Structure 1
Amino acid sequence: MAERGSPPNINARRLGLYLRRVREIVELSYEQAAARTGCDPDWLARVETGFARPAVAEVERLLERYEVRGANVADLMLDLATRPAGPEWLASLTGVKPLKRDALISEAEACVVHSYGILQIPPLAQAEPYTRLLDAHRLPLHNPEAELEIVRERQRFRAGGRPRFLDLVDLFRGLPTAKASFATKYVNRDLLDWDPQGRTRIRFSLMPEADSKLLDIRTSPVPERIAAINDFVEAGYEVHVNLSPVVVRDGWLEDWAELFDRLGDALSPAAREQLAAEVIFLTHNDRLHEINLGWHPKAEEVLWRPDLQQAKRSQTGGRNVRYRNGHKGRYVAAFTGLMAERLPFCRIRYAF
């Protein structure tokens, strides 16, 4: 039996949770399961709580004796058993607190990867220089090299040896009552060969080119995203558009009208028939504003508009800004009215 004395991390707890659920589904008590599998009931309880880390062969024997070896989740459990401490690159790191280690393992094992999702790196960061600037402003005692290396290693890791998002497409292809959905500003044509059979929704983020050149840094050009929609619909994806952030500035409605016309002209009948949109007006916060002033001040001329915005305290204590009450309602009405005129076939899922 592969037993270790360290506290259980999230991978060991996940594996234990899956094994417990399987045992309960086949309606076995600890004593009955132990008798069927030939193991000690106490060891089985420790496995199911993550305090004992079974070898792959031990997990396979449990699944065979539970008569569920052919289930889809069985392969997932066997895969988890190969990495009880998480991916090798993370297991070798020292000085990482348990809570952060669990967060990193969760990111590394996830089907969808947020490129900069851990504690010191903001979710909206799109470039290494941005991260370094944030460290210089807010974390003067932090070592950005160590954090960036964690990010690089995490992104190189592929759970089960294949792209994590492909696992998600495979999963939802067989779920008749649920769909996978994600928004993107990047056109990845490798996804065209994955046969989602209508069970994965891609939401291409769009904005006028004038805004995109200023705000969408290191992303696929907006015309390329529009041109990809027909191909992804033909490949079996449901494709919607994410119209965000909507930035109020001089000439904003005219630029959106031009974008709507370009989108309408580019779409095939099949793409038009299934198209829907989500509309999200700009929100911003004081912390990113201060960072952007040192890195990309031009963008702040349209993002930070005290004459149009009002403050709202976030749940985390930050000072967010959004367009003023009353004014925003008129902006939303003007925008959705323009959509109804230029894209009458496009359903608006929500707008705020």
Structure 2
Amino acid sequence: MFIWEDKEVRFDIPFTEMRLRSGEKIIDCLEDIEDTKGNAGDRGRLVVTNLRILWHSITSPRINLTIGFNCILSINTKEVNSRVNSTAKTLHMLTMSNKTRFEFIFTNLVPGSTRLVTVSGVHRAYLSSKLYREIKLRGALVQNKQLKILPLEHVYTTVDGVWNLSSDQGSLGTFIVTNVRCAWFASMNEGFNISLPHIQIISIIIRDSKFGPALVITSSEESGGYVLGFRLDSEENMSKLYKEITVIHTTTNNNPIYGVEYKLSALSNEEQNSDILQDAEVIEDPKGEITNTIAAYLAEGVNKSDRPIYSLELGLAVESIKNGFTIQKLWEVIPPTN
């Protein structure tokens, strides 16, 4: 299943999309956080997971947003003056999603709190753990004929004498299966290698090739849609490797390891955090709509004259009125009815 949580920015999502997906875990939860850019004056809750940042209004959980860590272009915190407190910590983020740049500003309304720095810390942990989630070709994966093992990784199987069929001649090397990925590197050239996380594998089959029966692994379209062929001289050993990869792949995908580890300086109650989204109301809003809410976050900026305002006369949010006009004058352009 496509993992979108770390790759997209979404607004006012249904509660089903706010729920944590398999392998996603809450790292921190901050109360009294204001979405200053889009919902100024509305107190909310900021939830930081190992894949994304979630914010929702306390008074109306249907007002919410989710920001994937892979979308963040820049992030910084600073201290500003606040109407609620003398000073407040703010978090400023610039993001890119679906070729659109968004800007977010979150303000911590709790005096003296520095917890917003958690977001930048988790983001750094996310960037440093890409091998858990992304395919890597010809990387610095091997040293002295040994795969460099990741902190949360455990090796299950190492098989020598495995042919990589990506070239016309094939290359002989070593195949490794771990709880995180499948990896292969050439015996004669360690720099010729591949690391393929289980979460990016969509199929594992044995089929005929011009070299004979081959183990074929296909990666997701999001990772490049690679079709990788491997062959062992013994069909029995190849069948055994196929079964082992299939079992480990299925088991791992039921509880994925995303590799994002971050420890808070002050440990929070993990059991309480695990249920932090349970009280929000179920939201069933139509998807794919471009609303004025989204426009408020555009990084390129929207002229204030283009933003909706609240009209006391009408009791509605309306398009900003141009200079020289009033609500009364606009009503005058409508011919009276007899």
Larger relative strand fraction: 2
Question: Which entry has the higher C-alpha Rg, 1 or 2?
Answer: 2
Indicate whether the TM-score tops 0.5.
no
TM-score by length of 1: 0.24
TM-score by length of 2: 0.25
Larger relative helix fraction: 1
Structure having greater relative contact order (Cα 8 Å, sep ≥ 6): 2
